[in-house]
Structure 1
Amino acid sequence: MIVRELDEEAGLAVPELTELFEMQDARGSGQLITFFADGWDGDETALPLNEGVELRFFAPGHLDILTIPPFIRNGIHRHLAARPC
């Protein structure tokens, strides 16, 4: 389902998408989010954004300045910490 959604909403093809883990927003809505990873090398400004306002990729060093829920930020940090150097 996520592969189809990424294609429909952003024209983004992710052939080797890997499911990583789930995290729950325990201090907020209780929402459960599944984290996925894949590689992509392209220009995000060229993607046909069909839903939403903007799609932009950020370097990990910019996470602390983004307005995102803390549990999402924690999930991204968790993934980055588990990656080989």
Structure 2
Amino acid sequence: MKISLLRTINLTPAQKIVELRLKHDISILELAAKLRLTVSTYKELENGNSYPTERMIRKIAKQYGLTYDEFLAVGENK
């Protein structure tokens, strides 16, 4: 019997935001501007000091061509 060593990884919204931004090679300044946020406010989201609203998650997801549900699935192993 083979035992799988893979486990499900559940990233926080902050970790997902960072992962997507880095994957798409977008600067904090550029993404903050696209989301109409100050850089300071955007950094609060990335640092996990502020939790994004559902509306903000939808705006972030849209920047990457993702739906709300697809954003929530980022970083999860199935």
Q: Give TM-score, length-normalised by structure 2.
A: 0.29
Higher RCO (CA-CA < 8 Å; seq separation 6+): 2
